[in-house]
Amino acid sequence: MLSPKTVLSLLKIGVGPSSSHTVGPMVMGSLFVHDLEASGKMQDVDRVQITLYGSLSLTGVGHLTDVAVILGLSGKVPEKVTTAEIEQTIQRVEASGQLVLNNKHYLLFNRKNDIIFSKEFLSEHENALTITASDAQENVILEKTYFSIGGGFVVEKEQYKLCAEEEQPMMIEYDFQSTKELLQLCEKEKVSIDEIVRLRDSAFISCEEISAYLAEIWQVMQAAIMEGISAKNRDKVLPGGLHLKRRAPSLFQRLTDDNIPKDDFTSSDWLAVFAIAVNEESAAGHRVVTAPTNGSCGIIPAVLAYYGKYHKELEKEDIEKFLLTACAIGYLYRRNASISGAEAGCQAEIGASSSMAAAGLCALMGGTVPQIFSAAEIAMEHHLGMTCDPVGGLVQIPCIERNAFGANKAVMAARMAMQRDSSPVVSLDDVIETMYKTGKDMDRRYRETSQGGLAVQIKCPACQ
């Protein structure tokens, strides 16, 4: 796994439906059992309890948070676990009433009693989880509280203060905190944004490893598109209680039907089908790339696939330039604002991903560094204020369609930036700060709690 200090860690391989509510909690469980084993006291553990707080609790069932923690405690990690392993592990726990910590230590486990969905919000962050391991005399052996801060990134409570202070310059060569600093680096080194990211992250991994990682990321993105549009999924219904039928296979069939006339809107339709295909894969709990979240995982692959279909066949250099440029923009959101829907609403997920994709596309279109920043700014500016109100706590409505709109907005933003002949009034730094302040001002009901908006307007008795 990449160091969280890398810019590239914005893109990580995992499983759906959520990065902060599924990938993050699985990582938490994995970290906990490794710390428990390192303490030398795993064999003394008689009981493990998990308490979910805030958004992790309120939408935890729909986001499979309880399943994710069990998988993590069982020794599974998001980037390697398969759909079959997920099903087998949970079935085994349910059937036997036993949890095998890190696949080594057996103990009794009752999912209904040992996972507590608390209505409390912890003061530090909206996504919180506590894991407690006790012996037979109910003495606490190890207890950890974690925060899932978006995009699959997690931090222990003890380290959260240090994480919040990361606004201070890190002692990493070629690091940047703002678009102003990034522009200065590009001008000083006479290189593009993607090259700055490559230079920066080479402090952690080699240039060869960066290329290999990006190739794997694009491979997984492409696989998600192909699986999402596969005819075998045409009549399948997404899990969770909404009985939402997959749409991408039928949309793809219509687009490739020779009897259907092609018009000026066809390119937008392809963007939509690519984005919907990936997000339906995520909603089904399958393998996707967090980009920068799972709720928004369809936008970046859709825009890159669109470029490859309508402009030129993608080469290694195109893929790397697009993804590295997108990551630079995502890094600014993660560092100076948030990529968590629970913290700042859907603008922090769909908006950030659209902004990243717009920057990447603008770079491929030959945009200058200021034009790339402008493309990213335009995309986010027109997502400001977007609420996160998942119906039934599921990453389906309105999330899947929002990926299609986010992809189309990214393309429009890049085109507008390339055609601009005047300096923008609003900078990317301005819009990032505005997004974060807007998210903090937003009523908590509209920040991934399923207590407001469509989530209460549309009833789903079978969801929770």
CA distance 5 to 349: 20
The predicted-structure confidence for 271-308, as pLDDT tens digits, reads as follows 999 999 999 999 999 999 999 999 999 999 999 999 99
Task: Produce one character per residue of 281-294: b if its CB has 16 or more CB atoms within 10 Å, e if not.
Answer: bbbbbbbbbbbbbb
Does pLDDT of 167 surpass 70? no
Does pLDDT of 194 surpass 90? yes
Task: Please name the residue ranges forming H helices in 147-192.
Answer: 157-164, 179-189
Task: Produce one character per residue of 244-265: b if its CB has 16 or more CB atoms within 10 Å, e if not.
Answer: bebbbbbbbeeeeeeeeeeeee
Residue range 328-353: average pLDDT? Answer: 97
Q: Rounded mean pLDDT of the chain?
A: 94
Q: Give the type of residue at 71.
A: L
Under the banding of pLDDT at 50, 70 and 90, the label for residue 64 is very high
Which run of H or E residues covers position 45? none
Residue 162's pLDDT is what?
Answer: 67
| Structure token digits, residue 105 | 């230590």
In the block, residue with structure tokens 């690519």 = 274
| Structure token digits, residue 253 | 């069939």
Give the relative orientation of helices 207-229 and 299-310 as an angle to the nearest 10 degrees. Answer: 90
DSSP percent split of the chain into helix, strand, coil, nearest 5? 55, 10, 35
